Structure 1
Amino acid sequence: MAKILMITGDFTEDYETMVPFQCLLTCGHTVDAVCPGKAAGETVKTAIHDFEGDQTYSEKPGHNFALNADFATVDPADYDALVVPGGRAPEYLRLDAQVRAMVRHFFETDKPVAAICHGAQLLAAAGVLSGRTCSAYPACSYEVTAAGGTYADIPVTEAVTDGNLVTAPAWPAHPSWLRQFMALL
């Protein structure tokens, strides 16, 4: 079974954090969820994004998601794979040089990476999308192409795999996204 790092933060998307975390644990993998500046036992607030016919998603308060590892002591070399949930967290996590370096590690070592929705913002900032196909929430398509990637405009229920990278537009793609990610594990 794989040892997986999940990098998240406050106002991460609720389903895009909790569902993969619980699903991967259920399948026997180890998942360490971390956030810069926080330790095991602390929480991040989640937000629930929904698609209700507006021009963009709506946002509602979610849950408190408990972190189970300390960001300060994480070494990405100890992990087999990376999960990057969406929501608003990637917007500010991408400003953290240590987070960007962690993301780059998984690409430099060709380890599986699963990113969903706004997680592409972190991948773009880490400089790992050049020449790659990447799906994301449509509002992040500009970041994908500006970073040298090809934006995969796919149905919200689908995912795409490009080498070690599995991406999807949003949480309705969980079955496809998680199935493709676990095939890489």
Structure 2
Amino acid sequence: MSSRAWQVAAATAALAAVPLAYWQYQRHIELKERRESIKLLRKVELIATEVDVRLMHLETQAKELVEYEAKKAAGEAGEEEEDLAANSTLNSYYHFDSQGNKLKTKWDSYDVDEELERLEKEERGEQVSEPVAKPKKSARKVPQLTRSKALATSQSIEHEFEAVLSFLDDIRGDDEVKQLRKAIANKVTKEYFARIDAIQAMLAW
């Protein structure tokens, strides 16, 4: 092969290699950007999971608070009715609640035989033991969270999830990146926000 022909062949091969090298460079950049995007998405997903842990804790606290308030209201109403009936000197058969149920009085638990025996012992000068007092009802566990604080916490968690969505909007990439980003966004908007709405509705009641 002549020197001229060799130069032409070398130049042709060099020109053909330019697009391949450019394509390989572009591919390298795309893969690098894809890896970085997926790494960012995994970090965002981890942050969302950590916020979800706080959300689950708030759900438990809010439920306990509502149940405590309901039981407290029902218990206080029941105790008021029992105290009213127990302190009455009228016949207990004439005392009924709003549902038509006979109310309890102090006479329902009064042991006549025991009282007569106690009086006889006193007359004979024998030592009489005092009646055993009924144990007091155990105090209910008071929730550490008020409705206002629970609502404020739910709003704070909601803002954190909104920040997660805002960060997701800045992440770009290929189809795999888009699918992962969409999955995280859907979990935030369709699951986490729905649970926050449920908490706020429960506390607003």
Q: What is the TM-score normalised by the length of structure 2?
A: 0.17
TM-score (norm 1): 0.18
Structure of higher CA gyration radius: 2
Return the structure number with greater helix share. 2
Structure holding more strand per residue: 1
Bigger relative CO (Cα 8 Å, ≥ 6 apart): 2
